[in-house]
Structure 1
Amino acid sequence: MVVTSFKFLTYLGEFGYIHDASREAGPAGLTSKEAYTAAIKRLQRFAHLPETGVVDRRTLELMERPRCGNKDELDETQDSSRRRHKRYVTANSKWEKNDLTYRIENTTPDLSPGRVRRILSDAFKVWSVVTPLTFTEVMHSDADILIQFSEGYHDDGYPFDGKGSVLAHAFFPGNSKGGDTHFDDAETWTFNSTDGVDLFMVAAHEFGHALGLAHSSNTEALMYPWYQGYTDNFRLPYDDVQGIQTLYGSPSNRLPNTPRPPIVVPDNRDRDRGGEAPITPRPTHPPTKDDTPCTGNIDAITVIRKEIFFFKGSKFWRRGPNGLAAKPTEISKFWYNLPSDGIDALYERSDGKITFFKGDRFWVFSSNHMVTNFPVEGRRITELGVGKNVKKIDAVFTWPYNKRTYLVTGDMYWKLNAKEDFIEYDYPRDMSIWKNVPVPLDSAFKYWDGKTYFLKGDQYWEFYDNKMRTRKKDGRPIGRLLGCHNGELKSDMTLRLSDDPDDNEDDDKESGYKHT
Structure 2
Amino acid sequence: MSSGARILVLVLVGSGSLWGQVAQSHPTRSTPLSQPAQHNQLLKYLTKYGYLPAPSDGNALDYTSLLPSAIQEFQDMARLPKTGELNEDTITMMSQPRCGVQDWTRSRWRRFLHSGSKWRKHSLTWKISSFPDHLSSSQVLVVFKDAFKTWANITNLYFEYRSAGVVDIEIKFLTGDHGDGYRFDGKGGVLAHAFYPPDPFTKTRLSFGDLHLDASETWTLNTNDDGENLYNTVLHEIGHSLGLKHSNAPGSVMWPWSADSAASQHTQAKLSSDDIIAVQSLYGEKTSNRYEKSENSHFLCRMHVDALLTTPNNKIYSFNGATVTELNSTTLEPVFGSQLISEVFPGFESDDSVDAAVSYKGFWPYEASYLFVGHQYYRYSLNTSDNQMTLDIGYPKNISLGWGFNESHFDSVYKYGGGNTPVFVKGLKYWMHTGTSHGPYWNYPKMLSMSPNLFLNSLAGIDAAFLHKNGTNYFLSDEHAYLLHHDDIMDTKNLQQLC
Normalised to the residue count of structure 2, the TM-score between the two structures is: 0.46
Normalised to the residue count of structure 1, the TM-score between the two structures is: 0.44
